[in-house]
Structure 1
Amino acid sequence: MKKGFKHIVLLFVILVMGCSKDASIEEEVIEKKIFITITSNTSNASEPQTHSSFTIRLSESLDTDVTVFYTVEGNATNGLDYNEIPEKATIATNTLSTEIPITIINDSESEEIETVKITLDRVDSEIVKLGTLITASINITNEAEEFLLSPSEARFYVVNPNATPETIALFYHLNKIARTSFIIGQQDAFSSFFDDASGISDMKKTTGNDPGLLGSDFMFITDDMNNETSGNWFYNQEQTIKSNAIEAYNKGMVNTFLWHMREPYEGDHFYTSNMTDFQKTNAFKSILPSGENHAYYKSKLDKIAKVCNSLIGNDGKLIPIIFRPFHEFDGNWFWWGKDYCTPQEFIDLWRFTVNYLKNTKGVNNMLFAYASDRNFNTDAEYLERYPGDNYVDILGMDNYGDFNQGDMGLTQVNAKLKILTSLAKQKVKIAALTESCFFVTPGTNEPIADFYSKNLYNSITENDVKLGYMMFWSNIKESYCVPTPSHSNANDFILFANKPNTLLQNELPSLYKLPN
């Protein structure tokens, strides 16, 4: 090889290696780029007090603060139509997002729709780049005057036109309570206790008063092994559940029943984790009107009807109950969950269930609660399996997981309950947090400071959320949702229960009589 040619080849290799190295460095820099976006948390806000917010979010958190600058536009005036917001925001170290609240100012004037629009301009970080969503907007409207349900109108809005006067009265009072207050309830409050300390309810041990609502379950009542004989364990459970429901009614409380129905093939389980693939795939479809287990399903509804028609209070009246079938249907842990039936199949069975109970079996002391879990963020997602206004009295949500997610989780709880509140207002229904809890297991899972009086209370009242009731899950021997007096968070629960708009049993109005 000639010397000159050798030098040329060597130079070429060096250049290639250098270029390759530079390209690798460039790719590394590109990989480190993080994107920032903005979204509106609701598309609408309204006067006088329905607020909203924007969320600015990073695709990956950083170990330093990130400041983003943006332009505020729209025909809504910053500082006049909503509380003034600056033209920059900071995402704190090791966090993913920050909120820009849009707090509406009521100017008492009827106006066209106004808009606030935010466009991201630049970021004070070389590795943070603007993403594809850099503009978001919120419309501000004038909220229509709220419809206030009157006692004489209540019977036109319940699902069952033949509902008893007491059931209609309960619907009316829950609707009215939701405007200013909410009832605090607990599942199995008269039969399940922390450390098995039976007697009065754990809530009464702590606050001096029973909950305003008692939760019960049709599970043991409809069990295949309930042979309705006095020595039968399941039948004895049925008698206890009925006795507790009667006690609650006689105290002026609300009764609500859910149903952990066992799958129809073996009658053993309701959690899909304990079921065979065949059972999971076929259980729900088999109890549809055309299914092989439909007659079995009707026999279980017959049992529910029998029990409901036997619940008589000291006043000689049928006791109204709220029935919450197929709860948490947007999850997949129950065999009636979204993975095991189509939306239309769910709707068909719900409608059959309501019609069979009220029309065929003559159950006239029942309100019907449609309750998802937390797996929705829009009206459309919540209503995907909604059977229609003629089949639902109460719009509910069960939510445990969001309460374990810090401030962002609490914001999500509030936003979801706001969806329920708005839908309930539109449809003349009642919104409710139908199940919730932060489970405390002493020595393992410790209390969260101010959980009841701040975290829970704020998330279910802020942003004009209006609920008829909320219900804690059961206390059991090892864990509690409601603390007893010896627990460190008992005072926090007392603060929650003593809020001016929370109602325990002693604070309830006469729920089963319509005002004149």
Structure 2
Amino acid sequence: MFAAIRKSFALFALSFPVLAYSAEVVTTEQATALRAQLRVQEDSPGLRHALELSNDLRSWTAYPLSFDQEQGAWSVQADGQVAIFAASDRGDGSWSIDFETLLDDAVFLRIAPLAGPFPADSTVTEETRHLLQNLHRLGWDAERFAFGQEFPLSYNSTDNIGNGDIDQSESKDVVGDHPGVHGADFLYMIDRSWEEHFHIAAAKRAYESGAIVTFDYHWAGKYGGDYKAHPQDDTLLDYVVRNDDSRGDVTWFYESLDRILAIINDELQFPIVFRPFHEMDGNWFWWGRQMQGGADTYRQAYRLLVEYLSARTDYVLFCWSPDVALEDFEQFYPGDAYVDIVGRDIYNVTDPGRPLSKLTEMIDFAAARGKVAALTETGYARGGSFETGDPDWWTTHILDPIVADEKAGKIAWVLTWINASWSGPYIPRSTSPQAAKDDFKAFYESPATLFQSEVAALNVYAPPASE
């Protein structure tokens, strides 16, 4: 359907499922403009729209449209090229939107559907966007998931500060391959000059080898000097979200983020999944539920962090991951516009209140919002070692329940914690009892688990392969 209006020879082009109600040339304060009314479906988790303009019907410039569910309002990212001056809800899941654009020699307009996933930061690099797309493909494939570990290349069970051999891992010692997801923590790259260099080098090596790289941050508070709950640090984010710098908290918050940005932009320069303010539904971190202002403060602080980083780097996907401490984790969710991946931390999955069914609960939560899910931390953490206490931990309590439940398999990755002299072990090492090593080999050999060589074969930083 076309409507042609002579004068500046403005043309109006439409594409399914949009209907044109009117198109006319009007005089504005700036110049002659084309005003047109289109019908647009509301955004859904996997579908958004763009208004596209062209002068020749061959090349089109897209201007993303955004629908704010809470405000019931539309906006267009158009840098002044086109504007929305009216919108009305038709009551059937669609809207009539009046657009206006200044006329050139000829103007064609159309609405184009955009398929997700949509990164929280719309300006991320192509590699970062491809990573998100491939995480969705992997996550919603119930047959397989990537296996990951925190600091697999830079810590091992015999070293206190890491051995610096980024080509060795205890996973590789036992099964012949590194984990497919490399976990890291900004805490170990800030104010730790004795080890930060090889943690950064290890993350780079993992990316270069085709692995997925994730970061959390056990952020040391300003007052207690630790990531644990502290009376003064528990008030930090309340001061930040109120923009009250009377104690210097706002300055401290953004200067801390600048140090992260320096690592991302200057040292790494590749896509990462960042998992800030994790396990917020517990009360052990200073950003936890006991903080001043509770969930409302948390949501605002998370949004500020995402907005600040997104404006200054294009390498980050954002992961939000509560623990299973309480049932009301949803109150801490910062909103779809600020999250790319949702996760859950579930240790000791055989304990009451911590079953893997809590993972499927999070998968449902993700699906309803067009996100992808992950088991962002897990492992045997009862004290002692799984190697003697439960040597078939990885097959019996992680692999088998996930494989047996089609929904539970719809995760992008499973990640366990650090093997170090002061942590774990969470996976077997070369000196472990043979039963534990044999079980982990069975876990590795399962078609459902993807270690580094298999993740590399997926080319997660390249455009998704066609079906």
TM-score in terms of structure 1 length: 0.61
Q: Which one-letter code corresponds to 1:221 in the other structure?
A: M
1:375 correspondence with 2:325: yes
The match for 1:45 is none
Q: What's the offset of the Cα at 1:157?
A: 1.3
The match for 1:430 is 372
1:162 correspondence with 2:129: no
Secondary structure, in 3 states, of the residue corresponding to 2:226?
coil
Summarize deviations over 1:53-98 as a string: whole Å, max 9, x none: xxxxxxxxxxxxxxxxxxxxxxxxxxxxxxxxxxxxxxxxxxxxxx
Q: What's the offset of the Cα at 1:506?
A: 0.9
Summarize deviations over 1:289-342 as a string: whole Å, max 9, x none: 523301111001111111111245xxxxx3100111111101111111101142
1:238 correspondence with 2:193: no
CA distance in 1, matches of 2:373, 2:274: 14
Q: What's the offset of the Cα at 1:280?
A: 4.6
Q: What count of residue pairs does the alignment treat as equivalent? A: 335
The match for 2:239 is 286
The match for 1:269 is 226
Q: Which one-letter code corresponds to 1:432 in the other structure?
A: A
Q: What's the offset of the Cα at 1:458?
A: 2.8
Q: How does 1:355-434 map to 2 (within 5 A)?
A: 355-359=307-311, 361=312, 363-377=313-327, 381-400=328-347, 402-405=348-351, 412-434=354-376
Q: Which one-letter code corresponds to 2:264 in the other structure?
A: C
CA distance in 1, matches of 2:440, 2:130: 30
Task: Looking at secondary structure, tell me which structure has more strand per residue.
Answer: 2
The verdict on how the C-alpha distance between 1:280 and 1:353 changes in structure 2, with shifts beyond 3 A counting, is closer
Q: Which one-letter code corresponds to 1:301 in the other structure?
A: L
CA distance in 2, matches of 1:395, 1:221: 25
Identity in percent: 27
Q: What's the offset of the Cα at 1:414?
A: 2.2
Q: What's the offset of the Cα at 1:177?
A: 1.0
Q: Is the 8 A contact 1:372 1:382 kept in 2?
A: yes
Structure index of larger Rg: 1
Task: Looking at secondary structure, tell me which structure has more helix per residue.
Answer: 1
The verdict on how the C-alpha distance between 1:305 and 1:289 changes in structure 2, with shifts beyond 3 A counting, is farther
The verdict on how the C-alpha distance between 1:291 and 1:235 changes in structure 2, with shifts beyond 3 A counting, is farther
The verdict on how the C-alpha distance between 1:281 and 1:162 changes in structure 2, with shifts beyond 3 A counting, is closer
CA distance in 2, matches of 1:397, 1:368: 14
Which of 406, 416, 420 is the aligned partner of 1:472? 416
Unaligned runs of 5+ in 2: 1-112
Q: Which one-letter code corresponds to 1:164 in the other structure?
A: T
The match for 1:343 is 295
Q: Which one-letter code corresponds to 1:510 in the other structure?
A: N
The verdict on how the C-alpha distance between 1:335 and 1:442 changes in structure 2, with shifts beyond 3 A counting, is closer
Which of 504, 508, 515 is the aligned partner of 2:451? 504
CA distance in 2, matches of 1:513, 1:471: 23
The match for 2:206 is 248
Unaligned runs of 5+ in 1: 1-151, 227-233, 313-317
Q: What's the offset of the Cα at 1:187?
A: 0.3
Q: How does 1:82-93 map to 2 (within 5 A)?
A: none
Q: Which one-letter code corresponds to 1:437 in the other structure?
A: G
1:201 correspondence with 2:169: yes
Q: What's the offset of the Cα at 1:191?
A: 1.3
Q: How does 1:120-159 map to 2 (within 5 A)?
A: 157-159=118-120
The verdict on how the C-alpha distance between 1:159 and 1:358 changes in structure 2, with shifts beyond 3 A counting, is same
Q: Which one-letter code corresponds to 1:436 in the other structure?
A: T
Secondary structure, in 3 states, of the residue corresponding to 1:214?
strand
Summarize deviations over 1:97-129 as a string: whole Å, max 9, x none: xxxxxxxxxxxxxxxxxxxxxxxxxxxxxxxxx
The verdict on how the C-alpha distance between 1:345 and 1:442 changes in structure 2, with shifts beyond 3 A counting, is closer
Q: What's the offset of the Cα at 1:235?
A: 3.2
CA distance in 2, matches of 1:387, 1:308: 23
CA distance in 2, matches of 1:498, 1:172: 26
Q: Is the 8 A contact 1:440 1:480 kept in 2?
A: no
Q: Is the 8 A contact 2:346 2:356 kept in 1?
A: no
CA distance in 1, matches of 2:234, 2:132: 37
Q: Is the 8 A contact 1:255 1:322 kept in 2?
A: yes
The verdict on how the C-alpha distance between 1:311 and 1:170 changes in structure 2, with shifts beyond 3 A counting, is farther
Q: Is the 8 A contact 2:150 2:183 kept in 1?
A: yes
Q: Is the 8 A contact 2:188 2:199 kept in 1?
A: no
Q: What's the offset of the Cα at 1:383?
A: 1.4
Which of 233, 240, 259 is the aligned partner of 1:303? 259
Q: Is the 8 A contact 2:403 2:448 kept in 1?
A: no
Q: Which one-letter code corresponds to 2:304 in the other structure?
A: F
Summarize deviations over 1:404-440 as a string: whole Å, max 9, x none: 52xx55xx53221111111222222110111111148
The match for 1:482 is 427
Q: How does 1:44-63 map to 2 (within 5 A)?
A: none
CA distance in 2, matches of 1:186, 1:485: 16
The match for 1:149 is none
Q: Which one-letter code corresponds to 1:172 in the other structure?
A: Q
CA distance in 2, matches of 1:161, 1:513: 18
Q: Which one-letter code corresponds to 1:271 in the other structure?
A: K
Q: Is the 8 A contact 1:187 1:474 kept in 2?
A: yes
Q: Which one-letter code corresponds to 2:320 in the other structure?
A: Y
Q: Is the 8 A contact 2:377 2:416 kept in 1?
A: yes
